[in-house]
C-alpha cells in the first residue's frame, strides 16, 4: 500500500512501539497524529518526524477517558476530515497475583487496553465507513492467547481486544474498512519499567526490537488477516495451545506460577 499523504493515528505514540511506528509511517510520507498522555514526549517525537517533511498533529489524550477521546477525535477530524489508519497501541500491564492487585489496578488495565480501543474505534470508524476505506490495527499481545499467572488481568484485556476485533471484522465485511490485530511477544521498550516488574528478568536474547514490531504494523495496515503474531514462529505455540490445551496449559501455567511465587518470596 502507498502510505504517502495518508493520515495515520497512533495511540501510545510517546514511546516504544507507537513511537517507532510513527517513524516508519512518516518515512513513507504519511501524515501522523500522535496520541498519548505525556505531551512533552509527543512533541519530541513530532520534532523527530520533521526530518521526513510530513504533517504531524500532537494530541494529549488519556484514551481510558471517553470524554477526552471524543474531544481529541473532534480536533483530528476538523484538521483531516478522516483518518486512513487507526493504530490502537496504548497499553500497559501491572504484574502481580489477582489476590495482591487492587480492583482499581485490575480495572485500570481494562480501561486503557480494552475500552481505550473501543472509544477510538467508536469515534473514528463512522468517517472510515463513510468514505468506504480505512484500516484499524489493534496491538494486542501473545497474552491474548494464553491466560498466565501474574498477568491475568492484562491477558484478559488482550483476550477481549482479540475477541472484539474478530467480531468487528465480520461486521466490516464488504464495507471497505479492515481490521487486523498485531500480537507481539517480549519487545524492548519501557513496558517493563513499571515498578511491578522490578523483580522480573527484563529481556531475553530473543526479545524483539520496536522496529521489527513497527514494520509488522505497517504490513497489518493493509492485511486481510485477523491476527499477525510476531515473531511468526510463536504461531506454532498458539496452535499447540489451541490443539492440545490439556498438555500445554499445565506446562506454561506451572512455569509462570513458579516465577510469580519466587518473586513473592523475595
Ligand X SMILES: NC(=O)c1ccc[n+]([C@@H]2O[C@H](COP(=O)([O-])OP(=O)(O)OC[C@H]3O[C@@H](n4cnc5c(N)ncnc54)[C@H](OP(=O)(O)O)[C@@H]3O)[C@@H](O)[C@H]2O)c1
Indicate which residues carry an active-site annotation. Answer: 154
Which of 27, 28, 41, 252 contacts ligand X by CB under 6 A? 41
- Shortest distance in whole angstroms from residue 130 CB to ligand X: 26
Q: Is the peptide bond before 8 cis (omega within 30 degrees of 0)?
A: no
CA distances (Å), 2 to each of 6, 56, 215, 231, in order? 8, 18, 14, 24
CB 9 → ligand X: shortest distance, Å? 12
Q: Please identify which residue in the block is written with the cell numbers 499467572.
A: 149
- Cα torsion at 174, 117, 46, 128 (round to 10°)? 20
CA 90 to chain centre: 6
Task: State yes or no: residue 138 binds ligand X (CB under 6 A).
Answer: no
Report the alpha-carbon distance of residue 221 to residue 172 in Å, rounded: 15
In the sheet that holds 56-60, the strands lie side by side as 56-60, 31-36, 7-11, 85-88, 134-139, 177-184, 227-230
Give the range of 58-66, 119-127, 238-246, 256-264 binding ligand X by CB under 6 A: 58-66
Q: Give first-to-last CA distance, the chain, whole Å.
A: 51
- Asked if 92 interacts with ligand X (CB under 6 A), we say yes
Nearest in space to 14 (alpha carbons), one of 37, 48, 47: 37
Asked whether position 64 contacts ligand X by CB under 6 A, the answer is yes
Among 7, 59, 83, 90, indicate the residue that binds ligand X (CB under 6 A).
90
Site string for ligand X, 201-240 (x = CB under 6 A): ----------------------------------------
Q: How far is the CB of 189 from ligand X (least distance, A)?
A: 3
Contact segment (CB under 6 A) with ligand X among 83-91, 169-177, 242-250, 257-265 equals 83-91
Judged by the rule CB under 6 A, the positions of this chain that interact with ligand X are 11-12, 14-18, 36-38, 41, 62-64, 89-92, 112, 116, 139, 141, 184-187, 189-191
Amino acid at each position: 500500500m502507498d502510505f504517502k499523504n495518508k493520515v495515520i493515528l497512533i495511540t501510545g505514540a510517546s514511546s516504544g512501539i507507537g513511537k517507532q511506528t510513527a517513524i516508519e509511517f512518516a518515512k513513507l510520507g504519511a501524515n501522523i497524529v500522535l496520541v498519548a498522555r505525556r505531551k512533552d514526549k509527543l512533541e519530541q517525537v513530532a520534532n523527530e518526524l520533521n526530518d521526513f517533511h510530513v504533517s504531524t498533529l500532537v494530541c494529549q489524550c488519556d484514551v481510558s477517558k471517553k470524554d477526552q477521546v471524543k474531544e481529541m477525535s473532534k480536533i483530528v477530524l476538523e484538521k483531516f476530515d478522516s483518518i486512513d489508519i487507526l493504530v490502537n497501541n496504548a497499553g500497559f500491564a501491572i504484574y502481580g497475583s489477582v489476590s495482591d492487585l487492587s480492583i482499581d489496578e485490575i480495572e485500570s488495565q481494562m480501561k486503557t487496553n480494552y475500552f481505550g480501543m473501543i472509544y477510538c474505534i467508536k469515534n473514528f470508524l463512522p468517517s472510515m465507513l463513510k468514505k468506504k476505506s480505512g484500516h484499524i490495527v489493534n496491538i494486542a499481545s501473545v497474552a491474548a492467547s494464553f491466560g498466565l499467572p501474574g498477568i491475568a488481568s492484562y491477558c484478559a484485556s488482550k483476550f477481549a481486544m482479540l475477541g472484539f476485533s474478530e467480531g468487528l471484522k465480520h461486521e466490516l465485511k464488504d464495507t471497505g474498512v479492515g481490521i487486523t490485530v498485531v500480537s507481539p511477544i517480549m519487545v524492548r521498550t519501557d513496558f517493563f519499567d513499571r515498578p511491578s516488574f522490578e523483580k522480573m528478568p527484563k529481556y531475553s536474547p530473543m526479545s524483539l526490537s520496536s522496529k521489527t514490531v513497527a514494520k509488522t504494523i505497517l504490513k497489518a495496515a493493509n492485511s486481510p488477516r485477523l491476527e499477525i503474531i510476531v515473531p511468526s514462529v510463536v504461531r506454532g505455540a498458539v496452535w499447540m495451545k489451541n490443539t492440545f490445551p490439556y498438555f500445554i496449559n499445565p506446562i506454561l501455567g506451572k512455569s509462570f506460577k513458579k516465577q510469580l511465587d519466587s518473586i513473592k518470596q523475595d
